[in-house]
A = this chain, B = another copy of it.
Amino acid sequence: MQPLPDFLARVQPPVTPALVIRRAAMEQNLAALQAACDAHGVRLRAHGKMHKCSMLGRRQVAAGAVGLCCQTVGEAEAFVAGGLSDVLVTAPVPPWGWARLAALVARARVGAVIDSTAQLAGAEQAARAAGVVFDLYVDIDPGMGRAGVAPEAAAGLAAAIARSAHLNYAGIQAYCGHHQHLPPGERAAAHAAWTGRLDALVAGLTAAGLAPPQVTGGGTGTAAMDLAAGLYTEIQAGSYALMDVEYGDLGDLPFLPALYLAASVVSANHASHVTCDAGHKALHPNGPPPRVVQPAGSQHRLMGDEHGAILPPGGAAEGDLVWLQPGHVDPTVALHDAFFVADEDGRLERWPIDARRVTG
Q: B280 contacts A284, CB within 8 Å?
A: yes
Residue of B nearest to A265 (CB): B94
Q: B359 contacts A267, CB within 8 Å?
A: no
Contacts of A144-193 to chain B: CB distance below 8 A:
144-150, 177
Distance, CA A177 to CA B279, complexed state (A): 14
**Which residues does chain B contribute within 8 Å of A17, judged by CB atoms?**
358-359
Q: B331 contacts A269, CB within 8 Å?
A: no
**Which residues does chain B contribute within 8 Å of A335, judged by CB atoms?**
334-335, 358
Taking a contact as CB atoms closer than 8 A, the residue among B71, B266, B281 that contacts A147 in the complex is: B266
Distance, CA A258 to CA B272, complexed state (A): 40
Distance, CA A212 to CA B324, complexed state (A): 38
Q: A147 contacts B275, CB within 8 Å?
A: yes
Give me the interface of A with B, judged by CB distance under 8 Å: 13-19, 49, 71-74, 91-96, 115-116, 118-119, 141, 144-150, 177, 264, 266-270, 272-273, 275, 277, 280-282, 284-286, 302-307, 309, 318-319, 330-331, 334-338, 340, 356-360
Q: B267 contacts A115, CB within 8 Å?
A: yes
Distance, CA A269 to CA B147, complexed state (A): 8
**Which residues does chain B contribute within 8 Å of A318, judged by CB atoms?**
116, 118-119
**Which residues does chain B contribute within 8 Å of A269, judged by CB atoms?**
115-116, 141, 147-150
Give chain A's interface secondary structure class: loop
Smallest CB-CB A-B distances: 4 pairs: A94-B264, A15-B360, A147-B267, A92-B266
Q: A331 contacts B281, CB within 8 Å?
A: yes
Q: B358 contacts A267, CB within 8 Å?
A: no
**Which residues does chain B contribute within 8 Å of A337, judged by CB atoms?**
356-359
Distance, CA A14 to CA B144, complexed state (A): 29
Given A334-B335, A358-B281, are A74 and B15 neighbors across the interface (CB < 8 Å)? Answer: yes
Taking a contact as CB atoms closer than 8 A, the residue among B14, B49, B96 that contacts A14 in the complex is: B96
Distance, CA A268 to CA B149, complexed state (A): 9
Residue of B nearest to A352 (CB): B359
Q: B266 contacts A16, CB within 8 Å?
A: no
Q: B91 contacts A266, CB within 8 Å?
A: yes
Q: A95 contacts B267, CB within 8 Å?
A: no
Distance, CA A211 to CA B29, complexed state (A): 59
Q: B91 contacts A14, CB within 8 Å?
A: no
Distance, CA A251 to CA B331, complexed state (A): 32
**Which residues does chain B contribute within 8 Å of A18, judged by CB atoms?**
359
Taking a contact as CB atoms closer than 8 A, the residue among B15, B286, B303 that contacts A146 in the complex is: B303
Which of A116, A146, A275, A319 has the most CB atoms of chain B within a 10 A radius of its CB?
A146
Q: A331 contacts B305, CB within 8 Å?
A: yes
Q: B94 contacts A266, CB within 8 Å?
A: yes
Given A91-B306, A91-B307, are A319 and B118 neighbors across the interface (CB < 8 Å)? Answer: yes
